[in-house]
């Protein structure tokens, strides 16, 4: 039980990486607060956890709103008495996100509000809770596009994830002496609904797939395993890390035949 006696809050836990991580964290002994903006999806995650004998509770939270971010942290402390792990995972990839010339300002603003501001607000209200618990781990979902340009234009998403990576490094340094670790999980291209909906043609999928040395999209379960390491005491000397889990995409100059 790698997370025994720990309480974790996971945003965007109604699907994808968030759901798989919630299931895994509970299996490893954590009590998990499932936060999502889609009530049905979040409640389904909780039901799945409880069916497996785990302990979880759902809270509705739009991470782009300060009141909701504050509420979800308060809910975690009220429900389970403390907060040890904060996984700021919620994010969007808008279908109309393109290049700088064609992307509407509204798409830019929405993406920034959820992907970047949402992480800021999670940390704003979550860090005091971690301090009250004596320290803990913050995991922020960035992306491989935080350090590489995307083959398929997605200017707002790429910029937002670059911001998450930079913010994670700064927070790691600010809180390094307070027993609070902050790391950025940077997934490569994943076979999740989020990406598959964005890469909505075979040509777009192939354009992304051809760059991955391992020759396949990653799975949400594989990201959950990485998050488990960052949440657990096994990563006690890891902070400010750009934690790449990307099938080798950022290491490649050319892809193998």
How many residues does the structure list for the chain? Answer: 257
CB atoms within 10 A of CB 201: 8
Residue 166, judged by CB atoms within 10 A of its CB (0-12, 13-18, 19+), counts as middle
Taking the C-alpha atoms of residue 36 and residue 238, their distance in angstroms, rounded to an integer, is: 28
Catalytic residue, from 58, 125, 157, 253: name it. Answer: 157
CA distances from 209 to 129, 130, 134, 153, 246 (A): 40, 39, 43, 15, 12
* 80 carries an active-site annotation: no
Q: Do residues 97 and 158 lie in contact, with contact meaning Cβ atoms separated by under 8 Å?
A: no
Name the token pair of 86.
Answer: 């904060």
Taking the C-alpha atoms of residue 230 and residue 217, their distance in angstroms, rounded to an integer, is: 22
- The radius of gyration of the chain from alpha carbons, rounded to an integer in Å, stands at 17
Name the token pair of 205.
Answer: 């999928």
Which of 128, 232, 133, 237 is CA-nearest to residue 176? 237
What residues contact 172, with CB distance under 8 A and at least 6 apart? 181, 182, 183, 239, 240, 241
Taking the C-alpha atoms of residue 8 and residue 34, their distance in angstroms, rounded to an integer, is: 9
Residues acting as catalytic residues: 157
């Amino acid at each position: 039980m790698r997370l025994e006696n720990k309480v974790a809050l996971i945003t965007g836990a109604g699907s994808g990486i968030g759901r798989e991580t919630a299931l895994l964290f509970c299996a490893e002994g954590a009590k998990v607060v499932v936060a999502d903006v889609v009530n049905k999806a979040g409640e389904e995650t909780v039901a799945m956890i409880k069916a497996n004998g785990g302990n979880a509770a759902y809270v509705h939270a739009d991470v782009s709103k300060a009141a909701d971010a504050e509420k979800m942290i308060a809910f975690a402390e009220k429900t389970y008495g403390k907060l040890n792990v904060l996984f700021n995972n919620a994010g969007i990839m808008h279908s109309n996100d393109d290049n700088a010339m064609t992307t509407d300002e509204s798409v830019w603003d929405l993406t920034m509000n959820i992907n970047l501001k949402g992480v800021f607000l999670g940390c704003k209200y979550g860090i005091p809770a971690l301090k009250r618990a004596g320290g803990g781990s913050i995991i922020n979902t960035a992306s491989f596009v935080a350090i590489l340009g995307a083959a398929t234009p997605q200017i707002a998403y790429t910029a937002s994830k670059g911001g998450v990576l930079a913010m994670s490094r700064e927070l790691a340094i600010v809180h390094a002496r307070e027993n609070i670790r902050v790391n950025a999980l940077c997934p490569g291209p994943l076979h999740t609904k989020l990406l598959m909906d964005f890469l909505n043609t075979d040509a777009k999928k192939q354009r992304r797939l051809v760059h991955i040395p391992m020759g396949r999209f990653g799975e949400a379960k594989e990201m959950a395993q990485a998050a488990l390491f960052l949440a657990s005491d096994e990563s006690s000397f890891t902070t400010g890390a750009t934690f790449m889990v990307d099938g080798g995409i950022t290491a490649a100059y050319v892809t193998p035949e």
